[in-house]
């Protein structure tokens, strides 16, 4: 198996990326293609023992910078390292691509080069975004603001495959997020989606209320991207508010180090970037994994391991099969 | 001023209600009409010094019970104490009504007897629901699931009046909740509402993202009742999850009493019932205040004080004037 890696992604490129790639090549027994400025990569590789490892370099001088608008930057930098790394997957020279931020650049490259799986128009963003409910996947957290009922069903399928293949939950429960548990609740789209879900063969348990997000009432919770986006961003500032409040409450009662450890952990549990910043992109027609921009070599190696696992469990193939099977089963209204 | 009080509301009726009424009559110098079984109320009144106080009784044997469906119960119990107490306002015999739960019964009585102010079809539920942002009012948190843009504008007016008259914020900032800060964000309804708000004369600051809920970015944050309901309920279970996590983290480091005090306070700050369970109902055509079902006499007295204040600041009149003024200013699409 070959994994292409953007050697220039993230805050500590290329040194941490190269070191992570070397470690992953040995630990995960995968071939690595590092994409970036050849001389700089070679200089980093020279610091490590690479004997017996399958590591090659694809040269480019261009790369994205944190803070650039990804789509705009990619129009100017047609040889950006993340773009070239992703193209290696499209061309069959690599089985998966790993990008270490900027996340927008990894997503935009995946969309432009690999596209989404058939019938899903936009990338789906989701995952176990809350540290307290690691077995609950929420979708969509991203850009799908005005959703049709059949799009919500697609999210349910994506979430089910993700929970099965990625979180190892054999028969994940799926719920629609609504304002009440009874069947008549929800807005028009949610009520129509209810019928689609009921006939889908998914392990659909009906509606969950907002409570269900905080207590992990279902393995897969479906909402439109407007609601998901609001919930996730709210979680982040609420977590910050609670951290500040805790600091005030605990000062003098716990040591500063203990307080910091506590608030650091709470921040991690309530911060989207930390929670879903890593792992495979969903509904992309190929395996593309993203890691935090602030990753050091252990996280880079882990992301490469995740990419290998996504290829091995055939995440993309499983999703395509599930989509075809379930769409055949339910009467989905024609897309507008 | 006369305040009618449902003597049979809440978990500790009639004793705590009667005691709270006696205290309020003296402290707030208001007349009180206690509605409920005359003999039981008299027995409670006999326990207190009521000399010089203006307290009368309106007798009824019927009252609502926690857990009953309010609308259904009220059809059977036409002389339910909360209904009769609310009718005293309609008839001009009282200036305001106070009900101590069940909240659904107080709301249903207010709707049935007093109705909503003109142009607002359903009761609006909102308030500073998060203990960390006491100067941020969020509307709607209730039953207005599919909202038109002009309904969102009405919520903005209600919230502005509430923030001005109730929270004493002279020129409250108003924002629409969306998935991004830029003008093109939001779903179709939110984008249409944006234009209405911009031309309304309200102190409109544009969109806030989910972040804005947790950090109190605006004094009034407007969303439909689906989103508001989800956010508030989610806050409750997230608060519980954080409390459980804190208990595990702090055991052995703080005393059990300190841990309990901390988690009790966090629960209070993240629990809707505690946060907006008390105070005047919004957009009702008359002053109706609700207090928690678990209120003891100090909370009952406080609720009566709140009712007095709502009458004094003319909350209902101010709302009607604001609605008329702003509706005259913006081009509101005809209601469907």
Between chains, do B241 and A214 touch, taking CB under 8 Å as contact? yes
Mean pLDDT of B191-219: 96
B235 pLDDT above the threshold of 50:
yes
Residues in A touching B241 (Cβ below 8 Å): 132-133, 214-215
B268 pLDDT above the threshold of 60:
yes
Residues in B touching A241 (Cβ below 8 Å): 130, 132-133, 214-215
| Backbone conformation region of residue B333, classed left if phi is above 0, alpha if psi is from -120 to 50, else beta | beta
The 8-class DSSP code of residue B142 comes to S
> What pLDDT score was predicted for residue A65?
86
> What pLDDT score was predicted for residue A331?
61
Is B83 within 8 Å of B64 (Cβ atoms)?
Answer: no
Residues in A touching B230 (Cβ below 8 Å): 177-179, 209-210, 213, 223, 227, 231
CA angle A156, A162, A168 (to 5 degrees): 125
Residues in A touching B180 (Cβ below 8 Å): 229
Q: Digits of tens for pLDDT over chain A (336 positions)?
A: 999 999 999 899 999 999 999 999 999 999 999 999 999 999 999 999 999 999 999 999 999 987 788 878 888 999 999 999 999 999 999 999 999 978 788 988 999 999 999 888 777 888 888 999 999 999 998 778 889 999 999 999 999 999 999 899 999 999 999 998 888 889 999 999 999 999 999 999 999 999 999 999 999 999 999 999 999 999 999 999 999 999 999 999 999 999 999 999 999 999 865 555 568 888 899 999 988 888 899 989 999 999 999 999 999 999 999 998 888 877 655 544
**Residues 6 or more apart in contact with residue A123 via CB below 8 angstroms:** A107, A110, A111, A116, A142, A143, A281, A282, A283, A284
Q: Does B260 touch chain A (CB under 8 A)?
A: no
> What pLDDT score was predicted for residue A272?
66
Name residues 271-330 of chain A within 8 A of B (Cβ).
none
Is B235 within 8 Å of B274 (Cβ atoms)?
Answer: no
> What pLDDT score was predicted for residue A332?
58
B155 pLDDT above the threshold of 60:
yes
DSSP codes, A71-130: HHHHHH-TT-HHHHHHHHHHTTS-SEEEE-S-HHHHHHHIIIII-BPTT--S-B-EE--S
Between chains, do A214 and B262 touch, taking CB under 8 Å as contact? no
Between chains, do A132 and B238 touch, taking CB under 8 Å as contact? yes
Helix axes A149-165, A188-198, angle to 10 degrees: 50
* CA A129 vs CA B186, B224, B287: distances in Å: 21, 23, 42
> What pLDDT score was predicted for residue B336?
42
The residue among A132, A151, A214 with the most chain B CBs within 10 A of its CB, best to mutate, is A214
Q: Does A20 touch chain B (CB under 8 A)?
A: no
Which residue in A336, A288, A329, A278 sits closest to A156, CA to CA? Answer: A329
Cis amide bond preceding B102, omega within 30: yes
DSSP codes, B287-335: EEEE--TT--HHHHHHHHHHHHHHHHTTHHHHHHHHHHHHHHHS-PPPP
Name residues 206-235 of chain B within 8 A of A (Cβ).
209-215, 223-227, 229-235
* CA B240 vs CA A240, A245, B236, B243: distances in Å: 16, 16, 6, 5
> What pLDDT score was predicted for residue B263?
97
DSSP codes, A152-218: HHHHHHHHHHHHHHTS--SS--EEEE-S-SSTT-S-HHHHHHHHHHHTS-S-EEEEE-THHHHHT-S
Helix axes B315-329, B149-165, angle to 10 degrees: 140
Question: Could you give the dihedral angle defined by the CA atoms of residues B317, B318, B319 and B325, in that order, rounded to the nearest 10 degrees?
Answer: 110
User: Which CATH superfamily includes the segment(s) A126-273?
Assistant: Isopropylmalate Dehydrogenase (3.40.718.10)
> What pLDDT score was predicted for residue B332?
58
Q: Does B333 touch chain A (CB under 8 A)?
A: no
**Residues 6 or more apart in contact with residue B55 via CB below 8 angstroms:** B21, B22, B25, B31, B32, B33, B34, B45
Between chains, do B253 and A258 touch, taking CB under 8 Å as contact? yes
Helix/strand/coil for B20: helix
Q: Does B132 touch chain A (CB under 8 A)?
A: yes
Q: What separation, in Å, do the N-terminal and C-terminal C-alpha atoms of chain B show?
A: 40
* Smallest Cα distance from A281 to chain B, Å: 20
Q: Show the tokens assigned to A315.
A: 């995440």
Which stretches of B80-151 are assigned E, i.e. beta strand?
96-99, 126-127, 137-139
Mean pLDDT of B122-147: 87
Cis amide bond preceding B315, omega within 30: no
Which residue in A336, A263, A335, A300 sits closest to A44, CA to CA? Answer: A300
Q: Does A236 touch chain B (CB under 8 A)?
A: yes
A2-120+281-314 and A126-273 have identical folds: yes
Mean pLDDT of B235-260: 97
Whole-angstrom Cα distance, residue B220 to residue B139? 8
Of B231, B233, B269, nearest to A234 by CB-CB distance is B231
B128 pLDDT above the threshold of 90:
no
Fold of B126-272: Isopropylmalate Dehydrogenase (3.40.718)
> What pLDDT score was predicted for residue B335?
47
Is B203 within 8 Å of B173 (Cβ atoms)?
Answer: yes
> What pLDDT score was predicted for residue B241?
97
Fold of A2-120+281-314: Isopropylmalate Dehydrogenase (3.40.718)
Q: Is-above-0.90 flag for pTM?
A: no
Between chains, do B253 and A254 touch, taking CB under 8 Å as contact? yes
Whole-angstrom Cα distance, residue A143 to residue A242? 28
At B274-329, the pLDDT tens digits run: 555 568 888 899 999 988 888 899 989 999 999 999 999 999 999 999 998 888 87
Beta bridge partners of A221: A138, A175
Q: Does B238 touch chain A (CB under 8 A)?
A: yes
Q: Show the tokens assigned to A163.
A: 């929970």
Q: Does B186 touch chain A (CB under 8 A)?
A: yes
Of A133, A179, A238, nearest to B229 by CB-CB distance is A179
Is A97 within 8 Å of A86 (Cβ atoms)?
Answer: yes
Is A147 within 8 Å of A140 (Cβ atoms)?
Answer: yes
Q: Does B130 touch chain A (CB under 8 A)?
A: yes
H helices of A251-284, where? 256-270, 272-276
Residues in chain A: 336
What are the extents of the domains in chain B?
2-120+281-313, 126-272
Mean pLDDT of B168-193: 93
Whole-angstrom Cα distance, residue B197 to residue A21? 52
Residues in A touching B229 (Cβ below 8 Å): 179-180, 209-210
Mean pLDDT of B129-141: 92
> What pLDDT score was predicted for residue A175?
98
Whole-angstrom Cα distance, residue A254 to residue B139? 38
The CATH number fitting domain B2-120+281-313, selected from 3.40.50.360, 3.40.718.10, 3.40.50.2300, 1.10.3720.10: 3.40.718.10
Is A38 within 8 Å of A66 (Cβ atoms)?
Answer: no
What are the φ and ψ backbone dihedral angles of B228, each rounded to 5 degrees? -60, -45
> What pLDDT score was predicted for residue A97?
97
């Amino acid at each position: 198996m070959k994994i292409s890696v953007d050697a220039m992604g993230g805050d500590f490129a290329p040194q941490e990326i190269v070191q992570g790639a070397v470690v992953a090549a040995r630990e995960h027994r995968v071939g690595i293609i590092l994409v970036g400025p050849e001389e700089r990569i070679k200089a980093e590789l020279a610091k490590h023992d690479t004997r017996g490892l399958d590591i090659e370099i694809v040269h480019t001088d261009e790369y994205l910078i944190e803070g650039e608008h990804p789509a705009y930057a990619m129009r100017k930098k047609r040889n950006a390292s993340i773009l070239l790394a992703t193209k290696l997957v499209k061309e069959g020279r690599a089985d998966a691509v790993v990008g270490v931020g900027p996340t927008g650049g990894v997503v935009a490259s995946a969309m432009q080069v690999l596209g989404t799986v058939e019938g899903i128009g936009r990338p789906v963003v989701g995952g176990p975004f809350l540290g307290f409910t690691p077995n609950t996947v929420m979708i969509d957290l991203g850009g799908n603001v005005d959703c049709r009922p059949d799009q919500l069903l697609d999210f349910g399928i994506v979430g089910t495959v993700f929970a099965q293949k990625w979180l190892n939950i054999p028969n994940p429960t799926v719920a629609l997020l609504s304002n009440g548990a009874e069947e008549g609740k929800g807005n028009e789209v949610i009520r129509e989606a209810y019928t689609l879900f009921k006939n889908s063969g998914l392990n659909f348990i009906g509606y969950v209320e907002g409570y269900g997000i905080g207590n992990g009432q279902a393995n897969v919770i479906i909402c439109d991207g407007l609601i998901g986006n609001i919930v996730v961003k709210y979680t982040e500032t609420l977590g910050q508010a609670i951290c500040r409040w805790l600091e005030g409450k605990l000062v003098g009662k716990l040591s500063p180090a203990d307080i910091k450890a506590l608030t650091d952990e709470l921040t991690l549990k309530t911060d989207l970037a930390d929670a879903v910043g890593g792992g495979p992109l969903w509904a992309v027609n190929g395996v593309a994994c993203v890691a935090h921009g602030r990753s050091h070599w252990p996280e880079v190696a882990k992301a490469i391991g995740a990419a290998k696992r996504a290829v091995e469990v055939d995440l993309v193939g499983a999703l395509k099969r599930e989509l075809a099977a379930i769409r055949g089963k339910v009467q989905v209204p024609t897309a507008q």
